């Protein structure tokens, strides 16, 4: 049997396989509410055989959104639409996750495909346009080269408490909506990553300076979420394992952080990278897998590999060789929402009985393959 398609258990949750759809912002929400786009976009991945589908970066407070089009979970009113999505994912055998996020100084930016704040007055009403001043560990703009990134306000103690409590409250709402796991977003140059990285954190209090101080607030958030999240459900954290910058956060820092996160109840580290100006790493197939392997071995914690993983044989090798415990796709899943069932057919050809396709499609696909002598009927 394929290792990629073997079950995997964290706490009281068993994923039917190791394939994951990584969070992907859709910028298609109004006031944080999920809608039919999100249901159809996410539901197709469950139909396509993925074991875990993680919803996009979801603002734990309104000002934590990357853009006005992001999902939110700062009010109970957001729960019903999310529960509808969770229920559908469950009906197709997939587990449901949600990424809880705060964008920090990268908040209140344009919907990316627009190329700027160019909405007409009519569009502002239609899309529920909002604009605000972001917050951050330090009053430093993400980059001076792009005026769309605003100058943030440095968080004081009250502001940090609001963020921490927002994460915890969002976790409680996620549990009410029925999610199987939550993922804390501490990657890609967003708020918790900003606290971790010396590139963005220039504080001179107990939350800045040495690595132990820079880890303090993200660890406080983890503690708050773990206390709010059911004990029998796993907690994940996405990190940028490296800033890919000579003066930034490094893999050895990620290992130290993962150890502390594990001690506070985190069950898996999702290993990405980058997020700050000046980072230098050329994306290529499997380019982030070594991060997952290093954190897994160095912190003795389960990891998820992500980043241009497309070939099922590569994904199989990642799990079989213990480089990571789960494998996540983002753009690859957008291109082929059925990637998981296609991969299972390829890796488990001899055992292919088409039962991993939805029942509404299985026999039709089997008959097509028989007629064309494909997959299990090739010989």
DSSP, residue by residue, 291-332: HHHHHHHHHT-EEEEESS---HHHHHHHHHTTS-SEEEESHH
175, 167, 36, 190 alpha-carbon torsion, rounded to 10°:
-140
pLDDT band at 279; cut points 50, 70, 90:
confident
Among the ranges given (108-112, 129-133, 280-284, 320-324), the one the predictor scored with the smallest mean pLDDT: 280-284
**What average pLDDT does the structure give for the chain?**
96
Tell me what pLDDT residue 268 has: 99
What element of type H or E holds 346? helix 339-347
Tell me what pLDDT residue 126 has: 94
**Tens-place pLDDT, residues 113-131:** 998 999 999 999 999 999 9
Q: Over 90: is that where the pLDDT of 374 sits?
A: no
pLDDT band at 12; cut points 50, 70, 90:
very high
Please state the rounded mean pLDDT for residues 154-180: 98
Closest C-alpha among 137, 274, 134, 276 to residue 202: 137
Q: Over 80: is that where the pLDDT of 349 sits?
A: no
State the catalytic residue, choosing from 127, 190, 207, 354.
190
pLDDT band at 346; cut points 50, 70, 90:
confident
Q: Within a 10 A sphere around the Cβ of 141, how many other Cβ atoms?
A: 16
**Tens-place pLDDT, residues 25-46:** 999 999 999 999 999 999 999 9
To the query of whether residue 190 is one of the catalytic residues in this protein, the response is: yes
28 close to 40: Cβ distance less than 8 angstroms: no
Q: 214-246 b/e with 16+ CB inside 10 Å = b? A: bbbbbbbbbebbbebbbeebbbbbbbbbbbbbe
Q: Over 80: is that where the pLDDT of 351 sits?
A: no
What element of type H or E holds 237? strand 235-240
Q: Within a 10 A sphere around the Cβ of 313, how many other Cβ atoms?
A: 11
Task: For residue 313, give every residue at least 6 positions away whose Cβ sits within 8 Å of its Cβ, in sequence order, or none.
Answer: 346, 347
Tell me what pLDDT residue 271 has: 98
Burial of 284 (0-12, 13-18, 19+ CB in 10 A): exposed
Tell me what pLDDT residue 354 has: 84
What element of type H or E holds 15? strand 13-15
Displacement of CA 116 from its chain's centroid (Å): 25
More confident residue, 357 or 262: 262
- The tokens describing 247, both together, are 């003066």
Burial of 54 (0-12, 13-18, 19+ CB in 10 A): buried
Tell me what pLDDT residue 142 has: 96
pLDDT band at 19; cut points 50, 70, 90:
very high
Q: Over 70: is that where the pLDDT of 65 sits?
A: yes
Q: Which domains does the chain have, with CATH numbers?
A: 8-347 (3.20.20.70), 353-379 (no CATH)
**What is the 3-state secondary structure of 260-290?**
HHHHCCCCEEEEECCCCCCCCCCCCCCCCHH
Please state the rounded mean pLDDT for residues 198-203: 98
Place of tokens 């007629």: 371
Give CA–CA dist 370/376, Å, rounded. Answer: 8
């Amino acid at each position: 049997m394929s290792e990629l398609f073997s079950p995997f258990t964290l706490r009281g949750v068993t994923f039917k396989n190791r394939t994951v759809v990584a969070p992907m912002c859709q910028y298609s929400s109004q006031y944080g509410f999920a809608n039919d786009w999100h249901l159809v976009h996410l539901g197709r991945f469950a139909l396509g055989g993925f074991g875990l589908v993680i919803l996009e970066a979801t603002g734990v407070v309104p000002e934590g959104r990357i853009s006005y089009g992001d999902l939110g979970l700062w009010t109970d009113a957001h729960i019903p639409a999310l529960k509808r999505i969770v229920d559908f994912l469950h009906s197709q055998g997939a587990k449901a996750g949600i990424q809880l996020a705060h964008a920090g100084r990268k908040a209140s930016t344009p919907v990316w495909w627009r190329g700027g704040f160019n909405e007409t007055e009519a569009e502002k009403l239609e899309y529920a346009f909002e604009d605000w001043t972001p917050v951050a560990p330090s009053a430093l703009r993400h980059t001076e080269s792009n005026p769309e990134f605003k100058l943030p306000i440095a968080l004081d103690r009250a502001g940090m408490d609001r963020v921490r409590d927002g994460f915890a409250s969002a976790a409680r709402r996620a549990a009410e909506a029925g999610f199987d796991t939550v993922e804390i977003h501490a990657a890609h140059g967003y708020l918790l990553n900003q606290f971790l990285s010396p590139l963005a954190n220039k504080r001179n209090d107990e939350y800045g300076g040495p690595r132990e101080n820079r880890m303090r607030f993200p660890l406080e958030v983890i503690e708050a979420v773990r206390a709010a999240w059911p004990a029998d459900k796993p907690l994940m954290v996405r990190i940028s394992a490296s800033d890919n910058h000579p003066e930034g956060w490094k893999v050895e820092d990620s290992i130290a952080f993962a150890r502390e996160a594990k001690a506070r109840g985190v069950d898996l580290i999702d290993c990405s990278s980058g997020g700050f100006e000046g980072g230098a790493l050329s994306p290529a197939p499997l380019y982030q897998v070594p991060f997952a392997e290093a954190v897994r071995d160095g912190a003795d914690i389960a990891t998820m590999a992500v980043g241009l993983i497309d070939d099922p044989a590569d994904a199989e090798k990642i799990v079989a060789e213990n480089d990571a415990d789960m494998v996540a796709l983002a753009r690859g899943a957008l291109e082929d929402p059925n990637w998981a069932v296609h991969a299972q057919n390829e890796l488990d050809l001899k055992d292919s009985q088409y039962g991993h396709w939805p029942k509404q499609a299985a026999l039709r696909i089997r008959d097509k393959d028989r007629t064309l002598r494909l997959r299990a009927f090739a010989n």
